[in-house]
Structure formats: structure tokens, C-alpha cells
Structure 1
């Protein structure tokens, strides 16, 4: 059972982070379109490099378990803020679903804030081989 706990945390960190890693990468390839969307929502396009850095660096930090509690707290806030800015049109069912998805992801990050990265992580010194 210890194996499930140890590696389940790693798998969970990968799964919750992949959406941010992929989103950050797609924003690079669709940079101009993303700037246009942000500006249409009242957000300055000059913030896009910071958004990309947040998504990619945050995802990688969570995956490897580096400063997990802090990064998870920041990504939870980023995710809630994104939900409020981009998905708060509750008259549109798709936007309501995306809003709730963001809230659920923020909840997952709060589990990381509360419990840390787990066994297979930089925060834990990575698994140590016993002699």
C-alpha cells in the first residue's frame, strides 16, 4: 500500500500540472491570438509572458515536487483568478463548466498545500536507497 501512496502523489502532481504545461506551450505557439483574447477580456496583453512563465514553471515545479506547497498555493490563486476573469459568464453553460473546472483544480492544489508533494519529490529529498 505504501507504493500506491508514494507514487500516487507523483501521478497526481503530473495529472494536475499537465493542463498548465500544455496551456503555457500552446500560448507560445498562439501568442498573437492569446494576446487578442486577453485584451478582449480587459487584461493587458503585456502580461502574457508572465502568464506563460507561471503556467510552465509552475507546472514543472509541481511535477518534480519543488517548493510544492508555495507553488500550489500560487497556482490555486492563479486558477481562481483566471476563473473569475475568463469564465464567470454563468449564462453560458460552457463558461460555467470551465469555471467549475478551475475551482476543482484550485481545490486539488489546496490538497498539495495541505499535504505537500509526498515521497517522490525534490521537497522530500527524492527517494533514498537504503544500504
Structure 2
């Protein structure tokens, strides 16, 4: 029970954090974010993709929908943020948040989280449908 409670707390915090980061990219003007990406040598359209993944993916992870797949996307985003943007700034005040979010997302890629997730509810009903059709 306690490991799943811990995973639930991590999942909600991870999803909420990414949701707020995506929301801030849109509220602050996605064009500004696109310009920042271009100043780092990243094509500007990637900002729209990243912001959308963070916003929609954050909500999905909170709800427990596609947690492993979305967490994999979060890992890719955070690896990019860590190596392209913040690595040169050092650990403190630089890439420590990126690293923490990357590792938490990697945890969900490897382990998933089923407690209070819609994925677990959907898989239970799929398994029941399969079992009922066999019997």
C-alpha cells in the first residue's frame, strides 16, 4: 500500500508541475517561448510541441492516463532542458530541477503507477470483458 501511495503522490506532483510549466508557456506568450527556443538553436515550432505535451500530459499523468508513455515524453523534454539549456549553469540554480523531474518521470516509465489511475480502471474493465467473453 505505501509504495503505491508514494507513487500516487509523485505522479500528482509530477503532473501538476508539468501542467503549470506548459500553462506558463502559453500564458506568457508561446511566441516568446518559441523565440527563446530559437535563441538556443532549437527550431521554434518545438516550443509548441513541448508546451502542449507539458500541459495536456500533465493533466493526463495526474489522472493516470498513459502515465508510462507521457512520462517517457517528459524524460525526453527534461533531457533536452538539462543538456541544451541548463547544464552550463551548474547543479544549484541550474539543472537540479530538470534532473529531479527527469528521474521522477523515468521512475514512471519503468514502474508505472496504478493507484487511483484511470489506466488501472480501464485495464480492469478490459480484463473483465475478456474473462466474460471466454466464459
Normalised TM-score (structure 1): 0.79
CA RMSD between the two structures: 2.1
Q: Residue 16 of structure 1 aligns with which residue?
A: 14
Contact 1:6–1:120 (CA under 8 A) maintained in structure 2: no
Contact 1:7–1:120 (CA under 8 A) maintained in structure 2: no
Unaligned runs of 5+ in 1: none
Tell which deviates more after alignment, 97-106 or 74-83: 97-106
**Shift of the alpha carbon at 1:29?**
1.6
Aligned residues between the structures: 122
Larger Rg: 2
Unaligned runs of 5+ in 2: 125-135
Normalised TM-score (structure 2): 0.77
User: Which has the larger share of helix?
Assistant: 2
Q: Residue 51 of structure 1 aligns with which residue?
A: 50
Deviations, residues 49-75 of structure 1 (Å, cap 9, x unaligned): 211111112111211111111211221
Alignment equivalent of 1:100, drawn from 96, 99, 102: 96
